Structure 1
Amino acid sequence: MISSLSTISLLLSLCSAVISVDAFFQKLLLPGDVSGPRSIAFDSTGKGFYTGVYGGKILKYTPETGFVDFVYMTTLSKSSLCHGIVGPLLLGFCGRPAGIALNEKTGDLYVADAALGLHVVSPAGGLAVKIADSVDGKPIKNLDGLDVDPTTGVVYFTSLTSNSYPVNRDWPLEDVTGTLYKYDPSTKVVTIVMEGLFRSTGCAVSSNGSFVLVSQLAGHDIKRYWIKGPKAGSSEDFNILINSPESIRRIGSTEKFWVVSAMSYSYGVNQSAVVLDSNGRESRDLQGVSIWEENGDNLVSEVNESNGSLYIGTFTGNYVGIYKLCKP
């Protein structure tokens, strides 16, 4: 059994041999008892990034300062009550940032909080401002993925389910109440884009703003919703071959996307990550990666790429992992 990420070997299709992670892998340890860097968003300088953690905080990292508190989801997020991994009863008081993404034109950081709804944070950081926790009088629950359309600033985000399950992963697989929403900052209105999804987790908008992808963890596929063009307003299968797609992240200004998948087995979860092009075809991958600790709780939540490195987020880990990609 593999005991830690630092002992795993990767086979990158963009290289010609198995790569030793010890030579390319780095752990950026989170401060104190902070854990669960679930999603990663890069700042506009390209030198730093943000990540949301348990207890209702978003940290900012730069090489000069390391990790510092940048955002509090609630006023209680600053207190010792919200330190560490908090239980379901405290999530409504502390918050749990899930998906995050930056509007590079305005500097605003948008947050899909699993327990508290959609929020926005100014470039100065501080206390997050709630945008919405309901649509047409119906609560928005269990938020997960989020992305910002780079051409319009419209925010797309997902809800895994509209049912009142605890904020965890052990929900009935037949649940088809997942939803894709959008928020238009110009009108300040949240609307429903797609309903009836099988535990919709990640979402990502194409660099030209023509479509948004949404993953169905229990549906074992990825849907494409057309935002503009001749197919605008319609949806279609984008990829039906990836088992349990979790998160989706666009690679910079390209039309390629990192997708993390998680296939459950009796002894744990075997995870992998692939890059899909704009046609849903795999163009490179991380082969044979079992990204889990011996206790089975260090599941990878996201893979995001910037400046030749992969940034690895986890649901409960105490670090952000960085893989330096080898040159082709």
Structure 2
Amino acid sequence: MAYIISLRKVTLLSIFIFIFCSPSMVLSQFFSSIQLPPTARGPESFAFELGTGRFYVGVDDGRILQYNGPATGFVDFGYTSGTRSKAVCDGATNPDLGPVCGRPLGLGFHYASSQLYVCDAYVGLVSLDSGGGLANLVSSSAEGEPYRFCNGLDVHQLSGNVFFTDTSTVYDLRNASKGLTANDSTGRLLKYDPNTKRVTVLLKNLTGPAGAAVSQDGTYVLVSNFNSNTTMRYWLQGLRANTYDIISTQARPNNIQGTLAGDFWQAAAMVKQPTQSLVPIGQRINGFGIVTRTVNFEPWYGNNLISGVQEFGGALYVASRYVNFVGVYSF
């Protein structure tokens, strides 16, 4: 009889552990998702308003969406291409429509001027005010070379300077895989000064520069090189101004975003053994490239790489071109 009671206790305990402590349920406590509108896909990066909790995201079909919270959800806010039409572009999946519909990638606010800056892969650097609608073209070329693949972006709040990347002068977004295979090294890091309306090329011959993030004090910019799996630090001020160094090596580094604490979150990948497959991760790094935290997003994204990880309101907002939702990881 004692044996039966003991066995019953073990069985009940096993059921309790399975129901309440299974890995899937533990993971679900940390991760949730915000569904995009039915025809939208491929969130690339985010820009958050101060004080409201609203954020903005660009999607595959050329729209910039504004998220207003669970009650309202997403609404159309703006678009980057003057040739875009809702009839042709909304929900479009044909990559050859990119030059017509636009493809917003990097986003960043300059709060003092209420400008939302956007890197559109085909149009170039554009900006929108609080009214949204069609973006204003800021720059489509530098030093006589048109932007072929405007990608990552960050805004220094004190100066208003916009730092952004042109991933390649040869391959556009539709041919990004060819650039990766060819180890293309024609990318550039650029700076737009809103006071002079001038774009300066800071670095050339980069191997797939994707993300860019400026330090809070404006002394350096971090640049992730997707093709060469490296992150570099380019010095803007001080004794080392106009020079750079490699601060980390990590598979497929993409967008980088600063935190209120002065460090950065970077979207990247790690190699999974023994298959050698890539799984998406977010890494918190400092200005020296030292990793202080890593979050593995494989349970929710599988082998789909992520393009951005941004900290806001005690959570990480996760972007990926391969999904139809915005991930939210609480920590």
> Normalised by the shorter chain, which TM-score bucket?
0.7 to 0.9
* Structure 1: 4+ residue segments shifted above 4 A: 263-268
Alignment of 1:176-325 (within 5 A): 176-240=185-249, 242-251=250-259, 253-263=260-270, 268-287=277-296, 289=298, 292-293=301-302, 298-325=304-331
Residue 245 of structure 1 aligns to a residue in which SS? coil
The C-alpha deviation readout for 1:42-95, integer Å capped at 9, x for no partner, is 112251110001121111112142111111113443412112243232111100
Match for residue 131 of structure 1? Answer: 138
Contact 2:265–2:310 under 8 Å retained in 1? yes
Taking the aligned partners of 2:281 and 2:25, their CA distance within structure 1 comes to 16
Which amino acid is the alignment partner of residue 293 of structure 2? Answer: R
Contact 1:202–1:214 under 8 Å retained in 2? yes
Higher relative contact order (CA 8 A, sep 6+): 1
**Alpha carbons of 1:239 and 1:19: their partners in 2 closer, same or farther (altered >3 Å)?**
farther
Residue 225 of structure 1 aligns to a residue in which SS? strand
Residue 29 of structure 2 aligns to a residue in which SS? helix
The C-alpha deviation readout for 1:169-190, integer Å capped at 9, x for no partner, is 4122421111101110001111
**Alpha carbons of 1:309 and 1:208: their partners in 2 closer, same or farther (altered >3 Å)?**
same
**Alpha carbons of 1:320 and 1:189: their partners in 2 closer, same or farther (altered >3 Å)?**
same
Residue 251 of structure 2 aligns to a residue in which SS? coil
Q: 2:113 aligns with which of 106, 123, 132?
A: 106
Shift of 1:290: 5.8
**Alpha carbons of 1:132 and 1:202: their partners in 2 closer, same or farther (altered >3 Å)?**
same
Shift of 1:231: 1.6
Which amino acid is the alignment partner of residue 84 of structure 1? Answer: G
The sequence identity of aligned pairs, in percent, is 34
Taking the aligned partners of 2:280 and 2:313, their CA distance within structure 1 comes to 24
Contact 1:269–1:292 under 8 Å retained in 2? no
Shift of 1:196: 0.9
Considering only aligned residues, what root-mean-square deviation do their CA atoms show, in Å?
A: 2.2
- Structure 1: gaps spanning 5 or more residues: 1-16
Contact 1:244–1:261 under 8 Å retained in 2? yes
Taking the aligned partners of 1:264 and 1:131, their CA distance within structure 2 comes to 39
The C-alpha deviation readout for 1:190-239, integer Å capped at 9, x for no partner, is 11010111110111011111111001112121111111122221111222
Which amino acid is the alignment partner of residue 243 of structure 2? Answer: S
Taking the aligned partners of 1:243 and 1:267, their CA distance within structure 2 comes to 11
| Larger Rg computed on CA atoms | 2
Match for residue 157 of structure 2? Answer: 150
Which amino acid is the alignment partner of residue 94 of structure 1? Answer: C
Contact 1:57–1:77 under 8 Å retained in 2? no
Instruction: From the two aligned structures, give the one with the greater strand fraction.
Output: 1
Residue 278 of structure 1 aligns to a residue in which SS? coil
Taking the aligned partners of 1:37 and 1:310, their CA distance within structure 2 comes to 14
Instruction: From the two aligned structures, give the one with the greater helix fraction.
Output: 2
Which amino acid is the alignment partner of residue 69 of structure 1? Answer: D
**Alpha carbons of 1:282 and 1:164: their partners in 2 closer, same or farther (altered >3 Å)?**
closer
**Alpha carbons of 1:66 and 1:287: their partners in 2 closer, same or farther (altered >3 Å)?**
closer
Contact 2:33–2:326 under 8 Å retained in 1? yes
Q: Which moved more, 1:298-307 or 1:259-268?
A: 259-268
* TM score, norm. by length of structure 2: 0.86
Residue 222 of structure 1 aligns to a residue in which SS? strand
